[in-house]
Amino acid sequence: MSNVEIPQAENLVELFEASVKRFASQPLFGQKNAAGTGYDWVTYQQVAERVDHLRGGLASLGVGKGDGVAIIANNRVEWAVACYATYGLAARFIPMYEAELERIWKYIIDDSGSRILLVSTPEIYEQVKGFVDEIVKMNELRSYMVAFARSSYQNPHSICPHHQMMLPRIIKV
């Protein structure tokens, strides 16, 4: 077993950033390709760029220290990107799985005081867009719902060039 030096870091954001500097061109996450014949990989640097873009987008929506950013998604690259982008703003990350019941999503979003909701598929977006209005804490001027595009894994910059994020649309609710 080789010895791997762990970078000094005060928190997960610093650890991630130190890892990006050290392993920039190395693969970080793999995802099965569309043909099912192998994996498409993204490097530490590519993930860091996506984190930076999403963090900037969330900041432009007013997300800051202590704010709640909820996500409904299974484990995937975008989940990790959203997590690190949120942590980079000192905000709270509230994950929920796609298989949860709708009433559980609603309860968690309301109870956590989340101001932003990220969803992984258009189908989930359709499920949740109706109940967001019922949640008082999200009925602020800065309440938004965001849906990830599956195709964003391949080419995140072609979808939303304004923020150069991997998000196809930001919809004010």
Burial letters 101-110, b for 16+ CB under 10 A, else e: eeeebbebbb
Distance CA 139, CA 9 (A): 37
Res 4 pLDDT > 50 = yes
Task: Find out if CATH 3.40.50.12780 is the number for domain 12-172.
Answer: yes
CB under 8 Å to 115, separation ≥6 — which residues? 62, 63, 67, 68, 69, 137, 138, 140, 142, 143
44 Cα distance to chain centroid: 16
Range in 34-38, 85-89, 95-99, 121-125 with the lowest mean pLDDT = 121-125
Predicted confidence (pLDDT) per residue in 134-161, tens digit: 664 453 433 344 544 333 334 333 223 3
The tokens describing 135, both together, are 């949640």
The amino acid at residue 136 is V
pLDDT of residue 126: 81
Which sequence spans correspond to the domains of the chain? 12-172
CB under 8 Å to 45, separation ≥6 — which residues? 20, 24, 25
**Percentage of the chain surpassing pLDDT 70?**
73
Higher pLDDT, 51 or 164: 51
Predicted confidence (pLDDT) per residue in 113-133, tens digit: 888 888 888 888 888 877 766
